[in-house]
């Protein structure tokens, strides 16, 4: 069956678009997704579907994809907008932050490649990955300095260090992007209609 008429793939792409909506519609550089096969989760077989259609998916999403982990049962994938990644990493304070962590930030691309390398090589992800996920620098740096000083807010997406309002505003933006994408994509839409709706939404925001 052609992927364009495959209901499972259509559902999977819809999932990816909703989860990637903060990258597509707001200032979030990237999103980290665990794609696994689990019969207990609606729309399972994500790992198989991703592996089968891996070459097509980034183009359909309009994002790049870096596979950070793959153990044959699940993949941890970073879907990202390279322009937003570069914009974030080129900020002066962000460069100083990475320099203090032992990166050699001659360019944003150098930092990015080294961060991906560390994500792939270390047993646990380096906490600075939060920068690529749109977390405020103050929260990433504060958590790494002293996690006990950070606040856990109700329904928070990460721990907050310092000004709560600033971080909650970012969380709200990311949630609103997902909700907007969710309400835009109608169940059982044909693939072409899904992609047209996404492009229309991106131009509107």
45: tokens are 């077989």
What's residue 124's pLDDT? 82
What's residue 187's pLDDT? 81
What's residue 44's pLDDT? 63
What's residue 105's pLDDT? 74
90: tokens are 């080129």
CA distances to 77, 93, 124 from 175, rounded to whole Å, are 20, 26, 26
Mean pLDDT for each consecutive 10-residue tract of the chain (205 residues)? 76 94 95 82 76 93 95 92 95 93 88 94 89 96 93 92 93 96 89 91 90
What's residue 76's pLDDT? 93
Q: Is 148 exposed, middle or buried (0-12, 13-18, 19+ CB in 10 A)?
A: exposed
What's residue 117's pLDDT? 94
Q: Is 130 exposed, middle or buried (0-12, 13-18, 19+ CB in 10 A)?
A: buried
**What's the pTM value of the predicted model, to 2 decimals?**
0.92
């Amino acid at each position: 069956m052609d992927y364009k008429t495959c209901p499972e793939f259509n559902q999977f792409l819809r999932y990816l678009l909703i989860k990637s909506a903060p990258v597509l519609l707001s200032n979030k550089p990237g999103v980290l997704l665990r794609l696994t096969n689990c019969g207990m989760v609606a729309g399972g077989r994500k790992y198989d579907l991703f592996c089968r259609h891996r070459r097509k998916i980034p183009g359909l999403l309009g994002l790049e994809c870096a596979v950070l982990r793959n153990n044959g049962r699940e993949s941890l994938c970073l879907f990202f907008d390279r322009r937003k990644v570069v914009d974030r990493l080129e900020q002066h304070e962000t460069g100083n932050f990475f320099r203090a962590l032992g990166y050699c930030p001659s360019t944003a691309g150098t930092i990015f490649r080294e961060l991906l390398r560390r994500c792939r090589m270390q047993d646990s992800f380096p906490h600075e990955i939060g920068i690529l996920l749109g977390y405020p620098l103050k929260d990433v740096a504060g958590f790494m300095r002293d996690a006990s000083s950070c606040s856990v807010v109700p329904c928070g997406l990460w721990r907050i260090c310092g000004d709560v309002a600033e971080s909650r505003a970012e969380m709200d933006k990311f949630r609103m992007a997902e909700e907007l994408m969710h309400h835009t994509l109608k169940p059982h839409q044909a693939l072409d209609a899904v992609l047209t709706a996404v492009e229309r939404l991106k131009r509107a925001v």
